[in-house]
Amino acid sequence: MEAGVEERVAALDDPASVAVRLRPPERHGLEERFAASDPSPGLELTAHPRVARLLKNRKFQFLLILPNQIVFWTVIFVGLLGTAIPGLNFGAAITWYVWFCLVFVMMVVVGRAWCAMCPFGGFAEWIQRRSFFRRTQKALGLGRKFPEPLAKLGFMLPVVSFLLLTWIEEFFNIAGPGNPADTSFMVIGIVTSALVFFLVFERRTFCRYICPLSTLIGTVGSMGSVAGFRTRDREVCLSCRTKDCMRGGEEGYGCPWYTWPGSADSNLYCGLCSECYKACPEGNVGLFLQKPLTSVVAPRRRRVDVAWGIAFLWGLVLYQQFNATNAFAALDNWLNSGLHFPHYPDPVDYLGIIVVGALAFAGLAALIARAVAGPAADFARPGRFLERASRFRAFFVPMSYGLIPVVGADYFARQLPKFFQHAPRVVPAVAHIAGFSSTRSSLYRFSIMTNGWIVVVQVAIVSIGALAAAWATWRIATNELVPISEHKVAARVATVGLALACGAAAAVLYVIMHAAD
């Protein structure tokens, strides 16, 4: 949880039972905290009456989630009961040929748009609240607090979930796609896990701390142009006695993501559920737009868990590229033979390559910090080890944020072979449900793009991501690293060069892979 007011208010129980126990927040230290934050974005969508009415309507998010509910329950049933041919099974085809690409587009353009319409959390939340859209005062379940030691891990828990889920997908060839029933079992597993967490813990604990996609969507989504729900006037938030945006009020629930709009300076943790907007009695919350990459460049409160999450996501996507090469096949077969592991992917090279990728980036950041940092007094700590750790963190954390555009572009490019080669199969897969299609369909065999052109598009996307990362890193270095560097020009050049080198490495791997899916 965030520090200060958010931590105190989010820990409270339902407003119906504790309304008289909330004391006005102390103002000591809060002004300085907000002075260090960037002002809210200038363009407010909710200033338009139609948008405001739409977001105030409690049916709005229900209607966003409902179509995805229908699609994903169809995925489950068709995967279990439909044809075993992956390309003709609607469940497997829509999930692995189309859905991932659409989610990445939504991340880059909007941010956490998928979270606002997610069928996994949406289904569990309906049960937890005992309502599809009405404001209820009593939740179903135990309503426990998530253990604080685990909550402090932040984005690292979802990274662990994502690594585990990815390894399961690879081991059972679910995303191949393999047996369509395996896709159904995977979706059932995610829905069941979400439901259990929603019934044991309060609010959207699963979405914030456990969901496998949370770190990926949050970090890549920070490139998006939707800033999320923010306060219009921070002074109003500071003097507010009720904090209905966090505790809930008559019109809305307390923020399910434990994010106080008064302290938000990025969109990483805003799930776009609009509950704070509905609940605020002062009308002081709005939905804002921002320039692309603002939440990458502008935050003043950068988090080390987010930085390590980005590093491990980078290691994972490098693994997903490297595992399509002949060199990896030889390594994996050798390890499987020596460790008597049944088949690809061996957990040793899976975790090893991911960790090496993450630590390589961290190590280069440490070398840059050592080479360009200012006098030791700038990182004074009681002890030489803590001094070095402080210097490393001062460089590694902002540099990791600057890598986000490359990571996002790389993950998106990795999905393109399946999309361009097989997305048209969704049409015969839909027709097959009614018995009107087969593998002889022209669309089943149709590819949108040849392998050569797919590689060109992949390299182009990674190049754009690398240039965006270079621009973001230059801005971050200028604002945050140059002031603590003794060699100021070298600080800019080295950090931007690292971002470009990461993009170049990804582009070379795509050329070697030659559109392997």
Question: Is residue 227 left, alpha or beta, with left meaning phi > 0 and alpha meaning psi from -120 to 50?
Answer: alpha
Residue 247 shares a structural domain with residue 385: no
pLDDT band at 5 (very low <50, low <70, confident <90, very high): very low
pLDDT band at 1 (very low <50, low <70, confident <90, very high): very low
The answer to the question of residue 504 being in a domain is yes
pLDDT value at position 24? 31
pLDDT value at position 374? 74
The answer to the question of residue 11 being in a domain is no
Mean pLDDT of the region 370-389: 68
pLDDT digits (tens, 9 = 90+) for 457-477: 999 999 999 999 999 999 999
pLDDT band at 376 (very low <50, low <70, confident <90, very high): low
Distance CA(152)–CA(305), nearest Å, equals 9
pLDDT value at position 386? 62
Residue 242 shares a structural domain with residue 318: no
Distance CA(101)–CA(173), nearest Å, equals 19
The residue ranking higher by pLDDT, 23 or 404, is 404
Sign of the alpha-carbon dihedral angle for 60, 51, 205, 347: positive
The answer to the question of residue 10 being in a domain is no
Distance CA(163)–CA(317), nearest Å, equals 11
pLDDT band at 206 (very low <50, low <70, confident <90, very high): very high
Residue 284 shares a structural domain with residue 332: no
Residue 288 shares a structural domain with residue 203: yes
Residue 341 shares a structural domain with residue 374: yes
pLDDT digits (tens, 9 = 90+) for 446-458: 999 999 999 999 9
pLDDT value at position 263? 86
Q: Which residue has the tokens 């961290």?
A: 362
The answer to the question of residue 6 being in a domain is no
* Residue finishing a domain among 268, 297, 326: 297
pLDDT band at 4 (very low <50, low <70, confident <90, very high): very low
> Strand 285-289 and strand 43-44: pairing?
antiparallel
pLDDT band at 14 (very low <50, low <70, confident <90, very high): very low
Residue 507 pLDDT greater than 90, yes or no: yes
Residue 65 pLDDT greater than 60, yes or no: yes
* Residue finishing a domain among 297, 322, 338: 297
Residues 120-134 as b/e (b if ≥16 CB within 10 A, e otherwise) read bbbbbbbebbeeeee
Mean pLDDT of the region 68-93: 93
The answer to the question of residue 367 being in a domain is yes
The answer to the question of residue 39 being in a domain is no
Mean pLDDT of the region 271-296: 94
The answer to the question of residue 30 being in a domain is no
Residue 33 pLDDT greater than 80, yes or no: no
Distance CA(146)–CA(298), nearest Å, equals 29
Residue 373 shares a structural domain with residue 319: yes
Residue 222 shares a structural domain with residue 74: yes
Residue 202 shares a structural domain with residue 324: no
The answer to the question of residue 29 being in a domain is no
The strand ranges marked E within 203-304 are 226-231, 285-289
Residue 145 shares a structural domain with residue 94: yes
Residue 291 shares a structural domain with residue 314: no
Query: What type of residue sits at position 256?
Result: P
Number of domains in the chain: 2
pTM of the model: 0.90
Residue 389 shares a structural domain with residue 248: no
- In percent, how much of the chain has pLDDT > 70? 89
List the strands of the sheet with 226-231, edge to edge.
43-44, 285-289, 226-231
Under 8 Å between Cβ of 30 and 238 = yes
Using CA atoms of 23, 27, 29, 31 in order, give the dihedral in degrees to the nearest 10.
140
Residue 25 pLDDT greater than 80, yes or no: no
DSSP labels, 444-455: TS--SS-HHHHH
Using CA atoms of 497, 499, 500, 504 in order, give the dihedral in degrees to the nearest 10.
130
pLDDT value at position 13? 36
Distance CA(225)–CA(108), nearest Å, equals 8
Residue 292 shares a structural domain with residue 334: no
Mean pLDDT of the region 487-496: 94
Residues β-bridged to residue 44: 288
Residue 360 structural domain: 304-513
* Residue finishing a domain among 297, 321, 347: 297
Collapsed DSSP state (helix, strand, coil) of residue 227? strand
